[in-house]
Amino acid sequence: MATGAFWKKHENLYFALTNPKVIIGLSLFLLMILLAILGPMLTPYQYDDFAGAGYQPPSREHFFGTTIMGKDVFTRVALGLRSTILVGFIAGTVATLIGCIIGFLAGYYGGKFIDELLMMGTNIFLVIPSLALLIILSAYLQYRGIVVMSLIVAITAWPWTARAVRSQTLSIKNQEYVNLSRISALNLFRILKEDIAANMFSYVFMVYILQFSGTILAAVGLEFIGLGPTEGISLGLVIKNAFDWNAIQLGLWWWAILPGLVLTTLVVALYFINTGLDQVFNPRLREL
Partner 1 sequence: MVKKRAERVMAIQNLSKEFKSGLIRPQITVAVKEVSFEIRAGTILSLVGESGSGKTTIGKLILKLLKPTSGNILYRNKDIATFKSKQDKTEYYRKVQGIFQDPFASFNPLYRIDRVFDLIFKGFNPEEKNRQEKIKQALKSVNLNPERILGKFPHQLSGGQLQRLLIARALLLEVDILVADELISMLDASTRIGVLNLLVELCKKNGMSVLFITHDLNLGYYISDYTLIMYQGRLVERGQTKKIYQNPVHPYTRMLFESVPDIGRRWNREEDFLPEQIVDDVNKFYEKHQGKGLIEVDEEHSVLFSCD
Positions in the binding site for partner 1 (CB under 8 A): 111-113, 116, 175-177, 179-187, 194-195, 198-199, 282-284, 288
Other CB atoms within 10 Å distance of the CB of residue 225: 13
* β-strand partners of 66: 72
Q: Which residues contact 84 (CB under 8 A, 6 or more apart)?
A: 216, 219, 220, 234, 235, 236, 263, 266
Length of the chain: 288
> Between 5 and 288, whose beta carbon lies closer to partner 1?
288
Closest distance to partner 1 from the beta carbon of 199 (Å): 6
Our measurement of the distance from residue 276's CA atom to the centroid of its chain's CA atoms, rounded to an integer in Å, reads 16
Closest distance to partner 1 from the beta carbon of 282 (Å): 8
Closest distance to partner 1 from the beta carbon of 277 (Å): 14
> Between 248 and 286, whose beta carbon lies closer to partner 1?
286
CA–CA gap between residue 28 and residue 22 (Å, rounded): 10
Other CB atoms within 10 Å distance of the CB of residue 112: 10
Closest distance to partner 1 from the beta carbon of 124 (Å): 17
Closest distance to partner 1 from the beta carbon of 175 (Å): 6
> Between 24 and 178, whose beta carbon lies closer to partner 1?
178
Asked if 89 and 212 count as a contact pair (C-beta separation under 8 A), the reply is yes
> Between 37 and 190, whose beta carbon lies closer to partner 1?
190
Closest distance to partner 1 from the beta carbon of 194 (Å): 7
> Between 41 and 183, whose beta carbon lies closer to partner 1?
183
Asked if 169 and 107 count as a contact pair (C-beta separation under 8 A), the reply is yes
> Between 90 and 102, whose beta carbon lies closer to partner 1?
102
263: exposed, middle or buried (C-beta count within 10 Å: 0-12, 13-18, 19+)? buried
